[in-house]
A and B are shown apart, each in its own frame.
Chain A
Amino acid sequence: MNPIWGPVAGGFIIAMMLVFIGIWVWAWLPRHQRAFNALASLPMEDDDAAAIALDDKP
């Protein structure tokens, strides 16, 4: 293999690591917190939770 691939692969790995860390940082930015909290509760809207099945005793 051409020796140039070594530094290219190394550079790419470092770039990907930075992107990975960047995503963590982005996700934990305080300004997203409100929106994320609202989103986390979104699925709970769709429910009349009380009953699970019709043969349950009330």
Chain B
Amino acid sequence: MTAIETYDDRVVRLFLFASAVWGIIGMLVGMYLAAELAWPFWNLDVPFLAFSKLRPDHTFGVIFAFGGSALIGTCFYVVQRTGHTRLALPRLAEFTFWGWQLICVLAMVTMPLGMTQSKEYAEPEWFVDILIAVVWVSFGAVFFATLARRRIRHIYVANWYYSAFIIAVGLLHIINNIAIPVSMTKSYPIYSGAVDAMVQWWYGHNAVAFFLTAGFLGMMYYFVPRQAQQPLWSYRFSIVNFWALISTYMWAGSHHLMYTALPDWVQSVGMAFSLVLLMPSLGSAANGLFTFNGSWHRLKEDPAAKFMVLALVFYAAATFEGSLMAVKTVNSLSHYTDWTIAHVHSGSLGWVAMITIGSLYAMAPRALGRPAMYSRKGMELHFWLHLTGTLFYVIAMWTAGVIEGTMWRATNPDGALTHSFLDSLIAIKPLYMVRWFGGVLIWLGMWVMAWNLWYTAADARKPIISPIPVPIPDPEPRQTPAPLPVQG
């Protein structure tokens, strides 16, 4: 055989780079918001710097721009390796990249100017939403076309998670954003009242479930065994967890609407399904952690593996906490407080960001044609900055949440509230400062990663990368289906 097929990592590299840049931007905005909450004068009387205008830029920037770029990039990387095939539809893949970046820029510019649907995590107006739908479908087309031309009969579990992520996010996005435009920059959703709230939190919760969980589990199921240099602890268990996860998550959304106008039984359904979720959540965390059995020593040498192990620990912690918060009595204390913010960031800084960073460190040298990352000391420094920052952040916000919750519910014997709202704000102000400081450490860590990637990408910038050949087995006699011709 003379022809050689190689993996197509061009778009992977672009997404890798974009993810690092958006990480810095999105977390800079988070840091700024944290500063505004601690020292309100930071809104500087500039309208688009007001907390409410800037907040969606943080959530969109970290979830969709940083997380989304990392997810699509690793997805294109993983589906090639686990299918022994080259990326299908390379032009469409390139379109996915530029389309996604355009969406992120458009959203991040229009939202602070006040063009918003006021739906959390779905703020961008209708013209951005249509673009998202188009790009998302093209992403799906590239992924499934690549999957269809795989040379391995079985579909590796990571691809199941990526598939669920692609299909569910497309569905959620379209249904939640059905709206009637009344001008170029304004539209109204077709839902109203309690129905609107339910659709919004069905979307909001499943954005957590399928974007921040299923997608990143896809990443985890590939990069953890790879970095541990051990086979996945239990492949069979991963299948059970997959089906349990995707069939349960869809029904848990109403736990965001406890004690609201939603029918009581709908709230109880959300609570019950949230408790069932303990099984697949802890199951996947255990599967990942046990995969490190026998190679714990790698943690000493390999900061990428450290990121992954900590990510799994935070994943277990955040999901356990989430199921707890879905219990109505607990939610009556935690809702509206910074406890929710602590939960969000133990999930997002602990789980999402750490598994992403670990996977980027694992993937970058391979995708950039280098034997290894440029600096291990840099990775090590990043790890400690990120971990300390995250701990500062979540411990401060847990404490703040419990202080707020208990102060708000305290009453005098005559039934009057013991504390004014202002009292509770003054009480937690120092904790807001601690959270800001944690954010600074995390943000500095992102710069260390960007610096490290820049030097690792030396060859890519020249461009002198030699592409990696696809391992193609010799065809067997009368093989069905017929072996794929070599491409590229």
Contacts and interface: CB of A to CB of B under 8 A. Distances in A.
Interface string B143-177: 00000000011101110000000000000000000
B302 A52 contact: yes
A44 B81 CA distance: 10
B82 interface: yes
Interface residues of B, number: 42
B226 A28 contact: no
B42 interface: no
Nearest to B232: A40
B16 interface: no
Contact of B225 (A20, A37, A40, A53): A40
Contact of B371 (A41, A46, A51): A51
A43 B236 contact: no
Interface string B299-327: 00111100000000000000000000000
Contacts of A51: 371-372
Nearest to B78: A43
Interface string A1-39: 000000000000000100010011001100010011101
A36 B287 CA distance: 14
B388 interface: no
**B contacts with A: majority SS:** helix
A54 B154 CA distance: 36
B376 A47 contact: no
Interface stretch (B50-58, B121-129, B237-245, B413-421): B237-245
B232 A54 contact: no
A39 B83 CA distance: 11
Given A40-B231, A46-B366, A20 B244 contact: yes
Interface string B264-299: 000000000000000000000000000000000000
B372 A44 contact: no
Contacts of A43: 81-82, 156, 158, 222-226, 232
A32 B372 contact: no
A12 B331 CA distance: 29
A52 B373 contact: yes
Given A51-B371, A54-B375, A23 B239 contact: yes
Given A35-B154, A40-B225, A54-B373, 13 more contacts: A27-B239, A36-B235, A42-B81, A43-B156, A43-B232, A44-B226, A44-B229, A45-B81, A45-B471, A46-B81, A48-B371, A49-B229, A53-B377
Interface of A: 16, 20, 23-24, 27-28, 32, 35-37, 39-49, 51-56
